[in-house]
């Protein structure tokens, strides 16, 4: 049998005083964090899917914050790479539902009680992503009153303008008329449709060669909302497949709640203009 390392004499093998791959990634911590409360075989799948999704969400937030800063400072082209990366990350999270869908209702019932009142409904990173995209609700703040550090993070996101607010200000800086009510709006409220914003985006799309950066920004935002809605839909169908129309472990109506959130929009004008053009 051929030795696959033959001719690779420079490969490092002595790590007595050097950092290993596992140490760099803190794998001992990450790989020891799957604690099955029921001991059931399939609880491992359930835990890992959600942990991996939370890691991807952490990266989404990292990229969204950087993209927002780039938009605010006028570096739209810099934001495009980061927003494109967000969409690719979203595709990874969407596909994760296919893996979780291999869990059958009978298998889930074997360990569901071990979850207690914990639920993905309480994911603070998911809410931070919603905040970053412009959908604000304060109920999640109440959930984390028990954890001052997490509450501080959530409040920072809640009281900050969204990436769409930054984009609307970019339209204004480019000379488009945007109503003062929108430019000075209360950013703790969920964003609502505005005709002046729609008019600005329509002009951008009708004159894409002249406003190419803004046009590209609009499309990158649409990509993100499109993927977000696909994620929500796959979430809803996976929950329906596994528990039907039972209530969620956190007290939500389960599928009923997930169906309602499909109606939420982050960037309404960017969707409406497709009918208007």
Which whole-number Å values give the CA distances from 94 to 116, 231, 235, 253, in the listed order?
A: 26, 5, 8, 22
Known binder of ligand: residue 124?
Answer: no
Distance in angstroms (rounded) separating the CA atoms of residues 116 and 141:
20
Q: How is residue 63 written in tokens? A: 């990229």
Distance in angstroms (rounded) separating the CA atoms of residues 188 and 55:
26
Known binder of ligand: residue 46?
Answer: yes
- The single residue listed with the structure tokens 């991996």 is 52
Number of Cβ within 10 Å of residue 228's Cβ equals 23
Known binder of ligand: residue 249?
Answer: yes
Known binder of ligand: residue 49?
Answer: yes
90 CB burial (10 A radius; 0-12, 13-18, 19+):
buried
Known binder of ligand: residue 48?
Answer: yes
| First-to-final CA distance of the chain | 66
Backbone φ and ψ for 168, nearest 5 degrees, come out as -65, -40
Known binder of ligand: residue 73?
Answer: no
Known binder of ligand: residue 108?
Answer: yes
3-state helix, strand, coil in the chain (%, to 5): 65, 0, 35
Number of Cβ within 10 Å of residue 98's Cβ equals 10
Binding residues: 46-50, 108, 112, 235, 249
Q: Which residues are annotated as a binding site for substrate?
A: 46-50, 108, 112, 249
User: Binding site for heme, residues?
Assistant: 235
């Amino acid at each position: 049998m051929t030795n696959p390392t033959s001719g690779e004499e420079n490969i490092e093998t002595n790590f007595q005083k050097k950092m290993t791959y596992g140490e760099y990634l803190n794998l001992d911590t990450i790989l020891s964090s799957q604690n099955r409360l029921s001991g059931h075989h399939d609880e491992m799948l359930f835990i890992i899917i959600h942990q991996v999704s939370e890691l991807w969400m952490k990266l989404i937030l990292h990229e969204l914050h950087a993209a927002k800063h780039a938009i605010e400072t006028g570096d739209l082209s810099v934001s495009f790479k980061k927003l494109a990366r967000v969409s690719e990350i979203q595709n990874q999270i969407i596909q994760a539902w296919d893996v979780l869908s291999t869990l059958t209702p009978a298998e889930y019932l074997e360990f569901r009680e071990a979850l207690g009142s914990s639920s993905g409904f309480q994911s603070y990173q998911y809410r931070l992503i919603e905040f970053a995209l412009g959908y604000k609700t304060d109920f999640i703040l109440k959930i984390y009153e028990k954890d001052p550090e997490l509450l501080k993070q959530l409040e920072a996101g809640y009281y900050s303008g969204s990436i769409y607010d930054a984009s609307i200000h970019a339209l204004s800086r480019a000379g488009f008329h945007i109503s003062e009510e929108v430019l000075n709006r209360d950013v703790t409220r969920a964003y609502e449709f505005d005709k002046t914003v729609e008019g600005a985006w329509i002009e951008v799309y009708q004159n894409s060669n002249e406003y190419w950066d803004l046009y590209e920004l609009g499309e990158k935002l649409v990509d993100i909302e499109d993927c977000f809605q696909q994620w929500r839909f796959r979430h809803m169908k996976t929950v329906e497949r596994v528990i039907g129309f039972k209530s969620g472990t956190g007290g939500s109506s389960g599928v009923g709640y997930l169906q309602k959130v499909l109606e939420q929009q982050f960037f309404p004008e960017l969707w409406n203009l497709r009918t208007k053009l």
